Every structure is written in C-alpha cells, then in structure tokens.
Amino acid sequence: MTQVSPGRVTLRLYDSRRGGVFPIEGTGSGPLGVYACGITPYAATHVGHAFTYLAVDVLIRALRVTGRAVRYVQNLTDVDDDMLRHAREEGEGWQELADRNAERFMADMTALNWSPPDVYPAASAHVRQVVAMVATLLRRGEAYRAGGHVYAAFGADPTFGDLGRVPVDERLAIAGDRGNDPDLPGKRHPLDPVLWQPSAPDEPSWPSPWGPGRPGWHIECSAMSMAYLGPKIAIHAGGADLAFPHHDAERMQSEAATGQRPFVGHWMHTGMVEYTGTKMSKSLGNLVFVGDLLAQWPADVVRLALVSHHYRSTLAWSDALLIDAAARASRWSVAAAQAEKVGDVAPAVAAGSECFWAAMADDLDTPAAAVALDDLAALTPAPGASSTLRELATRVVGLRLAGAP
C-alpha cells in the first residue's frame, strides 16, 4: 500500500515578518486562508510568474495531501499605474489588454498543471470594498485627504519597511523604483501610500466620497484578501520584490482598518528569477515566456525545472535547468510505470517517503524532496516504490508523468 503521508506531517514555513521557520497554523476553525499577489496582466506569462505560483501550488498540494483544508485566493491587478501605462503605450484599451493577458496566463498555468485558485478576484470588480476600507481608515485617523487624493498616514512610521527589512535611509529610493511617487500633491510624507487618486482622462474612474477616481495599488490587495479570507490570513505569498513597499503597506493598512494583529501568519516571499545574470524585467527585454518554453519542452519538464529549485532562493534561469529536468522527469516516468513486486511496502520505500515529507515539512525544501524521489525511482520494482513515487510526484509535486498509469 502506498505511503503518501507517514503519520501526521506538520509543514513548517519561513515567515518574512518573524525571520524564521515556524509551523503553519490556522486563524480559526475554517480552512487555512492563503492569498497570493497575482499578476498585473500587461504582458504574457513569464517564468518569474510561474516560479512564484507553482511554489504556492506545491505548498497547497502538500497541505491538502496532509489533511489541511485550504481556501486559496489569487488576485488580478487589472487597475494599476503600470497596467494603465502599458495600455496607453500599446494603444489598447486597459480592459482589453488585461483580459487578453489574463486569459493567456490561465492557459499557460493550466498547461503547467497548476491548480487554479478557489477565488480569482479582479481589482476592477472590488472598488466598492476599497472605498469602504479607505473610509474606515479615514474614520480611524489612519489616513488623510488632500484634494482628490487619499493617503495612508504611516510613511513616517519607523516600522514601515520592517517586513521587507529595508534600512530607513534606503526606503524612499526602493519605494520609488517600485511605484511610489513622493511628489504627489498634498502628501505629508513622501512614503505615504496612495489609497485613492483622481483618474486621468483616459483611465477608468469610479465614484467615491472624495471624488471620482481609482484605487491605489496596495489597498486593492487588502480589500480583496479581506473580502474572501477575513481580517487575518494564514499565508500571504508573492515575489520578494513585493515585500516593500507593497506588502508592508498591506500589513499596516489592514491592521489599522481592523485592529487585528498580525494580519498574516506567514509571509511567503519567493526569490527573484534572473536570466543572463540580470533580474528578468520587461524593460530590459530579457523575459522568458512560458508559452515559448511550452512550444519546445513538455509541461512536466518546465514545471520540474521551476519547482525543484527552492522557492526562497534566486533562480538563475538557463537551458541547463530544462535539460536536467527532462532527464529527471524521464527517469521518474519510467520508474512510476514499472510493475511492483508483490508484498508489503519495502522498508527502504517507507524511508524514502519519510525523507520526502521531512524535506517538504522543512520550509518546502523541494530540492531535497526531488532527491528523495530520485531515490524512490532507483528502488523500483521494490514493493511500493513505483506507486509511492507516482503519488508523491503527481499529487504533491504536480507532474503528470506521461506514460505512468
């Protein structure tokens, strides 16, 4: 009999706020609430996107296989300065551009055997919730109005930047590289986040008590996560470059609006993806798109190249990763398809399964878990080896293993 989970496995995950690895705990009697900052859909899916969302996918698969109920929310940031700027540059309506790339994202991730979120909210459909949260922050004295703008009043707070572990003297420069405009009219402090702003003539606009306009970026995620997961969530995921100012702002404004702390149990930040020694970005023209990879490689190979790298480490993308993943996926597929010898699960197979789960429980150590699966593949056709390998590789790692039963 396949030993998918030896006993009760307690998964432990690094939390950026506390700076250590801790057991994953719920925030109540219901499912674990998991929220991931989703794409801003102005371009096609690239491997940086896939690296983050496949890491979250593996975590959720592991949680569910070990008996934890999960409610997963991933948003779509379709109203955002970058989104609107790209639409303007490309001469396309912002909604049309967003819809087209969101559809491509879903198709690419589905091809990679990604389990879609339970809820996939778009910022444009949650402006009412944003307005309500901004009104609450104003009422509590945590925000202020300046003309048609509304700002959060914590830019000068010395703890704004703690989540991203950004030194005080570097915060303004880093925030400027990540969307903050220190010179917006009426700001009391150059780091005060925008909660509401007037729209330009060619931008979408909604009514509000402070005049027509649109939400700021950070408040959108606070409103959407709270709409579906409540005031406290177990895990909040996103790329490391979102820790400051985006997640720091989310943390502070959500806690200020509800009075409940901490807003998040585990802040899960994935490493950056580099190509030819430089962080991938559209401005540098060095993005590697998932659709292009899938035209050349099987989906299992692309997925394995990404998920066998530890989620918190910088990933230096290269064709060598795909070549290695192809060889590994082939070995696993062959082994998983083998007929097993009859008998109880071999002790070495049980030990291999335990090694796999020990790695997964230790901050989602997928490189070590992949080595454990290599060892299981080498044990075939021992009793239980191929079926254990197949179940762990498909149910947790998320491969399809073409050719395996």
Residue 365: CB atoms within 10 Å = 18
Does residue 403 register a pLDDT over 70? no
pLDDT for the residue 74? 98
**What integer is the mean pLDDT of 37-46?**
96
| 3-state DSSP assignment of residue 152 | strand
| Residue range 319-396, CATH number | 1.20.120.640
Each residue of 358-372: pLDDT tens digit? 999 999 999 999 999
pLDDT digits (tens, 9 = 90+) for 292-328: 999 999 999 999 999 999 999 999 999 999 999 999 9
Give which of 180, 193, 94 is closest to 149, Cα–Cα: 193
Domain boundaries, the chain: 26-279, 319-396
**Helix 299-307, helix 319-337: angle, nearest 10:** 110
Tokens of 280: 């991938």
Question: Domain 26-279 belongs to what topology?
Answer: Rossmann fold (3.40.50)
What is the DSSP code (8-state) at residue 92? S
Query: For the segment 173-200, what is each residue's pLDDT rounded down to a tens digit?
Result: 999 999 999 999 999 999 999 999 999 9
- The pLDDT tens digits of the residues spanning 74-107 come to 999 999 999 999 999 999 999 999 999 999 999 9
Neighbours of 208 (CB within 10 A): 20
Residue written as tokens 């080896």?
Answer: 385
pLDDT-based confidence at residue 2 (cuts at 50, 70, 90): very low
Percentage with pLDDT > 90 across the chain? 92
pLDDT given for residue 1 in this prediction? 39
Contacts of 146 (CB under 8 A, 6+ apart): 185, 186, 187, 188
Would you say the CATH fold of 319-396 matches that of 26-279? no
- Quote the pLDDT of residue 48: 95
Confidence (pLDDT) at 284: 66
pLDDT at 404 over 70: no
The distance between the two most distant Cα atoms of the chain, rounded to a whole number of Å, is 76
Count the neighbouring beta carbons within 10 Å of the beta carbon of residue 88. Answer: 14
